[in-house]
Structure 1
Amino acid sequence: MTQVGDGGRVVIWRWSDRSCHVAPRIRVALRCTFRELRIPDKVIEDAVMAAWELTANSLEHARGPYEMRLLREGPSFVFEIEDSDPRLPVMQSSCTSRANSSAELTERGRGLQIVDAFTRGRWGFRPSGSEKKIAWMAISVTVDG
């Protein structure tokens, strides 16, 4: 059973550029970890989708090795994906503006719009030591409604 104590973290999965069948394995690892941590079912599917979008962004724009992890922050969690590319993305206004309609979205940046909507703007990128960066997002485990 996966357990994260207060202020603790759990590594969900590590892989390299040579790993096979990464996408389905990532989604399964995320879903299993979220269930083991008793994140409410109503939150899990959206959390998996948003975490996958951040991970897919790393897979497309960075290089491995990669590491996914969760950190407890009070009643919530922070999902992180670390990759081996120190460059922080330049955020375009269309990726961070919730005012855009779906008709105005370009072909690129839709995944980050999903992350922004799910987290209500609580996500971003930060450097991680030398030659690495972290994409992160907050996961609220309270269910509205």
Structure 2
Amino acid sequence: MRISHRRIPVTGPHAQAMGGLHSPDDGRIHIKAWCLSGSASARKARALLRSRIAGHLTDEAVLGDLDLMICELTANAHRHAEGPREMRILYHEGIPVIYEIADAGGDLDLIVQRLRLHSGQAEIGTIDDIDALQIGGRGLGIVARLSGGRCGAYTTRLCGTGQPGKSVWFALPVKHAPN
């Protein structure tokens, strides 16, 4: 269910992630948001992502990376945050450029710290120590690495309920961004 579609100015973390993109309507972008619920929310988020990016990106390797990133963020929200969750896609001139998972949970500082820690580090397959083999706890690192560090988190209000919460986002990788 789509719960929101509005125009906002490009400011804050998204302005930097969009790499200086400007649109004829004074730097405004469109946001579309969908409610995610239940254990199938990662599947729904992946299907939404695929349906919204169709025609803009066809590289299967990049699509696989995008699937993995959206599933990791959705799984984290499902596992660590109570209450409503939503997926948001930010469009610039009709092209999807930023993907977010928003929820009513906390731990914003910890999430930002983990994303920064993993941005620009070694390849995902590299194991530096035995702790890297633990089950769980690698999702934000995967997102940071696959997005090339173009990711982050910020406080927000959920579009569907107005509740305060946080949003964790990643941008379409620059080398793969549509022209």
TM-score, normalization: structure 2?
0.62
**What is the aligned partner in structure 1 of residue 98 from structure 2?**
78
Which sits farther off after the overlay, 44-53 or 96-105? Answer: 96-105
Once residues 110 and 128 of structure 1 are traced to their aligned partners in structure 2, the CA distance between those partners, rounded to angstroms, is: 24
Once residues 54 and 93 of structure 1 are traced to their aligned partners in structure 2, the CA distance between those partners, rounded to angstroms, is: 12
Once residues 114 and 49 of structure 1 are traced to their aligned partners in structure 2, the CA distance between those partners, rounded to angstroms, is: 8
One-letter amino acid matched to 1:47? L
One-letter amino acid matched to 1:82? A
Q: Percent identity?
A: 30
Deviation of 1:24 (Å): 2.4
The reply to whether residue 45 of structure 1 matches residue 64 of structure 2 is yes
Q: Which runs of 5+ in 1 are unaligned?
A: none
**What is the aligned partner in structure 1 of residue 167 from structure 2?**
134
One-letter amino acid matched to 1:127? T
Deviation of 1:35 (Å): 1.4
58, 67, 74: which one aligns with 1:55: 74
107, 112, 117: which one aligns with 2:140: 112
Once residues 76 and 84 of structure 1 are traced to their aligned partners in structure 2, the CA distance between those partners, rounded to angstroms, is: 24
Matched length: 137
Deviation of 1:20 (Å): 5.2
RMSD: 3.1
**What is the aligned partner in structure 2 of residue 8 from structure 1?**
30
Deviation of 1:92 (Å): 4.3
Return the structure number with greater relative CO, CA threshold 8 A, min gap 6.
1
Deviation of 1:56 (Å): 1.2
Once residues 20 and 110 of structure 1 are traced to their aligned partners in structure 2, the CA distance between those partners, rounded to angstroms, is: 20
Q: Which runs of 5+ in 2 are unaligned?
A: 1-5, 8-22, 24-28, 158-162
Segments of 4+ moved more than 6 angstroms: none
Once residues 135 and 26 of structure 1 are traced to their aligned partners in structure 2, the CA distance between those partners, rounded to angstroms, is: 14
